[in-house]
Amino acid sequence: MNLQKLFFVVLLIFVSGCVHGAQTTSGGDLGSGLIGTDKGIIFEMSGLPPAISSSQAFELEVSATNAGSYSVNSEDVRVSLSNSKSFDFLLNEDFQQIVSGENGLTNNNILLKSLDTDVLGDSALFLFEELSYKTKPTQDVQVPLTVDTCYYYNTVASVNVCVAKDTSSEICSSREAKTVVNQGAPVKVSGFEQISSLGNSNIITSNIRIDVATVGDGKFESYSTGNPDKTLSCTHPSDDVRLNTVRLKSIKIGSQETITGENIVDICGTDLINLDEAGKGSVNCNGVTLYSQYSDSIGDFEERMVITLDYLNSDSITGNLNVLAL
């Protein structure tokens, strides 16, 4: 290998290491996320024996793998036995899991996001130990073993908006549907329409419409707080959580200050997007500040808007356990 090739290989390794090391738990570093997937956390059950007696104990493993573009923090993922009253079992804590309630476990580590369709993100392994069926059947029976799953996740999408003092701009259109780029997540910003652009002195504002759609399995829940620092939680549920909703967590336009919390409520009327039976919803936001230092010398231009949604996703997985009457 000549020196030029050796230098290229070393440089490639260095760059790859920097990209991997740059992952954060924010999930919002647009450009480094996975695009084109509709996955979040994937759960799988393993360890079910082909058949057991009522007193025979076994270990049940549930894996949670991050297949999307948002890195989840510790205690953002929870699994629990749904029909726990039918079984005896033990829950222990280790470097991967924390006991959560009487029948649940949550992740003890950050699960970094996926950066490639062929390379999934981090996984956590949850273990239910010494699991056994309480009832001694009089004949062989098949018992469902159901694990409820829940995780907190973010969707990050970007769109180019037109910054113009009116809708007659020749540089860009401020009155049309725009193309949206979504990072990997089970909820998408399915559509975006810029309705207007208006200049008042040096401030350019716009009316917009954001459409969302669920593309993954499970139920989606959120709640309106007007406070983006009050995060949704599977391990510490709130009575305010509403089913079939996602939250408009933030809007970021170029170098402008991020719009969050009560400011979202002020311009959009709510930060909560209701989903219909098809998993679709929308919200209109009026008077969104696109740019606050406009001048004729700068002129009209396009700027990137980054939209972040957050939500809880809950579902269940079931395996069949054959219990023998011995």
Quick: pLDDT tens for 89-135.
Answer: 999 999 999 999 999 999 999 999 998 777 889 999 999 999 999 88
Alpha-carbon distance of 41 to 76, in angstroms, equals 11
Quick one: 115 exposed, middle or buried, by C-beta within 10 A (0-12, 13-18, 19+)? middle
> Are the C-beta atoms of 108 and 94 separated by less than 8 Å?
yes
CATH 2.60.40 assigned to domain 24-146? The reply is yes
> How many Cα atoms occupy the beta-carbon half-sphere of 217 within 13 Å?
8
What is the pTM for the complete model shown?
A: 0.86
What pLDDT score was predicted for residue 226?
66
258-309 pLDDT, tens digit per residue, is 999 999 999 999 999 999 999 999 999 999 999 999 998 899 999 999 999 9
Quick one: 21 exposed, middle or buried, by C-beta within 10 A (0-12, 13-18, 19+)? exposed
Return the structure tokens found at 58.
């076994």
Position with higher pLDDT, 20 vs 183: 183
Alpha-carbon distance of 133 to 325, in angstroms, equals 12
Residue type, 195: I
Alpha-carbon distance of 249 to 228, in angstroms, equals 6
* For residues 162-174, average pLDDT: 92
Position with higher pLDDT, 35 vs 322: 322
Q: Where are the domains of the chain?
A: 24-146, 153-313
DSSP codes joined into one string, 254-268 = TTSPPEEHHHHHHHH
Alpha-carbon distance of 69 to 158, in angstroms, equals 14
Position with higher pLDDT, 160 vs 84: 160
Strands (E), 195-300: 198-200, 203-214, 219-222, 242-243, 245-253, 259-260, 272-274, 280-291
How far is residue 222 from each of residues 61, 72, 234, 273, measured CA to CA in Å? Answer: 28, 16, 11, 9
How far is residue 67 from each of residues 153, 161, 201, 219, measured CA to CA in Å? Answer: 11, 29, 46, 18
Whether residue 35 is predicted with pLDDT greater than 90 in this model: the reply is: no
195-245 pLDDT, tens digit per residue, is 999 988 899 999 999 999 998 788 998 877 666 666 788 887 777 778 899
Residue type, 27: G
How far is residue 246 from each of residues 172, 263, 287, 320, measured CA to CA in Å? Answer: 31, 17, 22, 33
- Which DSSP category does 183 fall into? B
Alpha-carbon distance of 312 to 247, in angstroms, equals 10
Percentage of residues in the chain having pLDDT higher than 90: 66
Return the structure tokens found at 143.
């018992």
Rounded to 5 degrees, φ, ψ at 86 are -90, -5
Rounded to the nearest integer, the mean pLDDT of the chain is 86
259 CB-near residues (< 8 Å, 6+ apart): 250, 251, 252, 253, 267, 288, 289
Beta strands at 301-324 and 52-53: parallel, antiparallel or unpaired: parallel
Ranges of H-type helices in the chain: 3-21, 261-268
Alpha-carbon distance of 58 to 47, in angstroms, equals 8
Whether residue 30 is predicted with pLDDT greater than 70 in this model: the reply is: no
How far is residue 307 from each of residues 5, 59, 254, measured CA to CA in Å? Answer: 42, 42, 12
What pLDDT score was predicted for residue 296?
87
Alpha-carbon distance of 150 to 234, in angstroms, equals 6
Most confident of 27-31, 82-86, 271-275: 271-275
Whether residue 4 is predicted with pLDDT greater than 60 in this model: the reply is: no
